[in-house]
């Protein structure tokens, strides 16, 4: 028989307000990301912030509905919408993930862990294996490296009090499953954001220094990208350090896996926020000057809303005016 979801894993609310209006859903506001309830009223939809709804109907935070509303708000970091009766995403119920990494990311994670194990015994051999991180073929095809890795696994088994090297591999496999998400986020978030900043810097270098409006706008994009990119770098460095300390990881997975999952979820939420901007930069025709600067304006607005502690964005406003004169619409959020 197929497994059924337990009530606490479903989007179920008891207050009558949630059952009186058909077709309700829960989403994040397109304007500021606030969790809202969307209610169809005639031919239009009305969106009310969950916090406002909760206050209006006197739903305490510690009640069953109050706790469920908190879970719904958290769930909307991982799914676009929830409807009554929908299962909550595993990030908020079991610590799992609502998405899957690609096969290449799982292979890379396995290779990283194997190389870390090899480096624990023979750093020079690990450097040789690192030359083919994505494919992992060097570890498979080089008999000397394979022998060294087997030796490292036997030594690790002895250190950990395990029966043999197969026990080490059995512990590494589920850890590779966890780190595969980190590898996917490295490809889908960290590297694209780095690429965006690099493009912005090249664009800045190509500007006439007397073009103050565009200089200010692109400088703002570069400056505001700095803190979030630094945070991403810090998180990936932490994950790489955990992976590198493979004996401690094997010894205390119950301590380290929750850390990996917390960073996975934080980075995935960040990726969901950045994805529309990153896709714009991929799709834009870099030979179309007006289109490029529309993307710059859109990126400035995205960053300012999330990372700039200000209500006025002078560089964006000035660029907006310039683009408006060309009668080409600026992309809005």
In a domain, 109, yes or no: no
For the chain, which ranges sit under pLDDT 50?
1-3, 310-333
Domain C-terminal end among 56, 78, 93:
93
The reported pLDDT for the residue numbered 309 is 55
Q: Is residue 79 part of a domain?
A: yes
Q: What residues make up the domain containing 211?
A: 192-325
Same domain, yes or no, for 198 and 319?
Answer: yes
Co-location of 198 and 318 in the same domain: yes
By the 8 A CB rule, do 84 and 27 touch?
no
In a domain, 18, yes or no: yes
Residue 89 to residues 81, 170, 179, 198, Cα–Cα distance (Å): 11, 27, 19, 35
202 and 312 share one domain: yes
End residue of a domain, out of 93, 127, 156: 93
- Which residue among 34, 65, 93 closes a domain? 93
Question: Are 319 and 211 within one domain?
Answer: yes
- Residue 132 is predicted with a pLDDT of 63
Phi-psi domain of 23 (left: phi exceeds 0; alpha: psi -120 through 50; beta: other): left
303 occurs within a structural domain: yes
Residue 202 and residue 89 share a domain: no
| Res 234: pLDDT | 97
For residue 283, being part of any structural domain is answered with yes
pTM: predicted TM-score of the whole model, two decimal places: 0.84
Domain count, the chain: 2
């Amino acid at each position: 028989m197929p497994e059924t979801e337990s009530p606490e894993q479903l989007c179920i609310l008891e207050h009558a307000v949630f059952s009186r209006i058909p077709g309700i859903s829960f989403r994040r506001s397109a304007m500021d990301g606030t969790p809202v309830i969307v209610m169809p009223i005639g031919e239009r939809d009305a969106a009310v912030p969950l916090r406002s709804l909760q206050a209006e109907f006197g739903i305490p935070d510690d009640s069953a509905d109050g706790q469920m509303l908190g879970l719904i708000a958290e769930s909307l970091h991982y799914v676009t919408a929830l409807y009554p009766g929908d299962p909550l995403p595993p990030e908020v119920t079991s610590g799992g993930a609502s998405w899957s990494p690609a096969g290449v990311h799982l292979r890379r994670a396995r290779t990283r862990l194997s190389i870390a194990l090899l480096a624990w015994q023979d750093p020079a051999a690990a450097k040789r294996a690192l030359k083919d991180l994505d494919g992992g073929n060097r570890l498979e095809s080089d008999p000397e490296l394979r022998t060294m890795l087997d030796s490292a696994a036997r030594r690790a088994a002895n250190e950990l009090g395990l029966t043999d090297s197969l026990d080490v591999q059995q512990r590494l496999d589920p850890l590779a499953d966890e780190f595969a998400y980190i590898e996917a986020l490295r490809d889908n978030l960290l590297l694209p954001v780095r690429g965006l900043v690099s493009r912005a810097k090249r664009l800045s270098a190509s500007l006439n220094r007397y073009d103050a409006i565009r200089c200010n706008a692109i400088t703002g994009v570069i400056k505001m990208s700095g803190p979030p990119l630094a945070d991403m770098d810090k998180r990936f460095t932490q994950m790489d350090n955990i992976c590198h300390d493979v004996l401690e990881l094997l010894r205390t997975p119950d301590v380290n896996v929750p850390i990996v999952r917390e960073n996975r979820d934080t980075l995935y939420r960040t990726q969901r926020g950045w994805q529309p901007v990153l896709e714009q930069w991929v799709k834009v025709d870099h030979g179309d000057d007006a289109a490029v600067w529309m993307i710059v304006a859109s990126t400035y607005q995205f960053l300012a809303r999330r990372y700039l502690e200000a209500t006025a964005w002078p560089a964006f406003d000035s660029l907006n005016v310039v683009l408006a004169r060309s009668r080409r619409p600026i992309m809005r959020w």
